[in-house]
Amino acid sequence: MVAAVNQLNGEPPREKIQIILRSTPGSGAVPFARILRGRFEGIRFYVDPGASLQDLKKDWTAYHEFSHLFIPYPGDSDLWLSEGLASFYQNVLQRRAELLSEQQTWQKLYDGFKRGESNSEFSTMTLSQLSENIRQSRSFMRIYWSGALYFFEADVALRQGTEKKGTGKIQYTALDKTSR
């Protein structure tokens, strides 16, 4: 997991990362986690003590939470930016760690984008407005997956800028272990 996260920038997202583990029974190996901001940034993981090592290795939560640390906390009004980055990279990094096939990764991204699209009860509000009121609006899927779509589209646009001249083909390798 650490090797896959380090591929994003060639090094960990922070020099020091405080990791706190809390035991909690739940659905899944890591039912919940959260980023810690302050003097020492870090992650608090709530881990099911009955989870197997294999279940822990395959869980998406650590990839998501570590991705948050690649950018400064944008504040509540731009929570969509931080959650979008983490939601996009949780899938890309699991692919690079060879936990997901290319097809599984594309399917997870597609399914997430569809969940975001269908969470449209407050469609007249901007992502910033929803981010400020995420608990009241319960627009988690729209915030997380609209943000992920933003980063996906930015990634594609950047890669189109490196299109091979004369071939007309775009090389898209975000899911490839060796790309950055």
Question: What confidence tens digit (pLDDT) does each residue in 115-145 have?
Answer: 999 988 888 888 888 888 888 888 889 999 9
Question: What confidence tens digit (pLDDT) does each residue in 53-91 have?
Answer: 999 989 999 999 999 998 888 888 889 999 999 999 999
Does the pLDDT at position 36 exceed 80?
A: yes
pLDDT for the residue 167? 52
Report the DSSP beta bridge partners of residue 36.
42
Does the pLDDT at position 171 exceed 70?
A: no
Does the pLDDT at position 4 exceed 90?
A: no
Query: Greater confidence, 28 or 159?
Result: 28
Domain 2-160 matching CATH 2.102.10.10: the answer reads: no
